[in-house]
Amino acid sequence: MKASFIRLLLMVLLLAVFGGTLVAAEYRVILRNGSWLRAQSKPVVKDGQARIRLLAGQLALVPESDVDWKASESWNRRRPGAAEVLPRTLPTPVKPVPATIHMVRDPTAAAAAESAAPAKAASEVQPPATEPVPSPQQQDAQLRQRIRQLDQQITDLRDQKVDLEARARSAIQLADTAKLRAQAQEIQGQIQTARATQNRLILQLSGHKP
């Protein structure tokens, strides 16, 4: 009598422990990148896509070429038993699934999200920022600074020209002399351009004065 009661108690405890589990068949789909998916059955290929019904019930679409069919068949033949005890909360695969897997969503929800996207984007459009217009005093200060910079640039160019002309006079080879004089002429053109710009800015500065 006592032994029967103990056996009954053990059966009740086992039912309490394993009552939250689900016995279901699993078909493991091995992918070519080394990851895998736990499916309810062997995938069905349609239009170049492997349609995989996951254990949780979702439908995943994977390109047929991404599935390692030979490895999948080999693993499912070797696995122990035709069914295994699975917990209610399914474990996460050891390796991440590839980005080529597409989960099939509710088309109504997707259409609603797409229709709401343009309205949100329109509300986020910001008007272009306008730069502040400098005052006449600020404009005059900028002109004076630019005129001083050009004056220093002209002085530096003149020094370079004098140095090139001196080297051309002391050069032994005629080719070197011609090359140095050509460089001096080029610098003279830069001096004339800088001087013309400086004169234009001086006239512009004079026009700002009352």
pLDDT of residue 135: 82
Residue 57's pLDDT is what?
A: 87
pLDDT of residue 73: 92
Tell me the pLDDT tens digit for each residue of 106-134.
444 455 555 555 555 555 556 666 677 77
When mean pLDDT is compared across 26-30, 93-97, 156-160, 200-204, the lowest value belongs to 93-97
Q: What is the tens place of the pLDDT at every residue in 3-21?
A: 665 666 566 565 554 544 4
Tell me which DSSP letter residue 65 carries.
Answer: G
Tens digit of pLDDT for each residue in 29-63? 999 998 989 999 999 999 999 999 998 889 999 99
The confidence score (pLDDT) of residue 3 equals: 62
pLDDT of residue 4: 64
Question: 194 with 161: CB under 8 angstroms?
Answer: no
The answer on pLDDT for 81 being more than 90 is no
State the average pLDDT over residues 63-89: 73
- Looking at residue 8, its pLDDT comes to 61
CA-only gyration radius of the chain, Å: 42
Distance (Å, whole) CA 67 – CA 42: 11
CA dist., res. 19 & res. 98, Å (int): 34
Q: Distance between alpha carbon 160 and the CA centroid of its chain, in Å?
A: 49
Q: What confidence score (pLDDT) does residue 175 get?
A: 87
